[in-house]
Amino acid sequence: MLRIFALAFAVLAALPALAAQSFSFASIDGGNLSLDDWKGRPVLVVNTASRCGFTPQYDGLQALYERYRDRGLVVLAVPSDDFRQELGNDAAVKDFCEVNFDLDMPMTTITHVKGPEAHPLYKWLATQGFTPGWNFNKALIGPDGTLVESWGSTTRPLSAPILTRIEALLD
């Protein structure tokens, strides 16, 4: 009986890791972005907005991506209008980010990140204790698919807390 409970516990403990990697998003460039494609790599997921006081953080996100992408880091920008600060459509967001920030990191289409219409990844993150309170909230998903840590809008992408956690997860 004890072995059955131990096995059941092991299976349940593995579920969060499987859940994070099973999600996909529509890409702002067309096609899909699947977290499963990045299995074994850390992924920093950031809900973004083009008309927010934190929008200049795109520069830091791009710099972070450039610094660590060859070592495995993925930075995923998730534009959202849940806080009413995103442009009206995907084409406008894509153009804004290319012109103003020269972004080449993966980016989703405009996506809900909170409430009943939240994307399934964000619903899963909520079960892990993370729900964005504003734009540019950051969730670091480890190579095993678990939520490693999350940060609010005021934590800059190149801050010591984020760099330390990412570097510990890289090859």
**How confident is the model over 62-120, as pLDDT tens digits?**
999 999 999 999 999 999 999 999 999 999 999 999 999 999 999 999 999 999 999 99
Q: Which sequence spans correspond to the domains of the chain? A: 2-169
What whole-number distance in Å separates Cα of residue 31 and Cα of residue 27? 6
Residue 74 makes CB contacts below 8 A (sequence gap 6+) with 38, 41, 42, 43, 44, 65, 105, 106
CATH number for the segment(s) 2-169? 3.40.30.10
The pTM assigned to this predicted structure is 0.88
Active site positions, annotated:
52
pLDDT digits (tens, 9 = 90+) for 42-59: 999 999 999 999 999 999
Q: Which residues pair with 139 in a beta bridge?
A: 45, 150
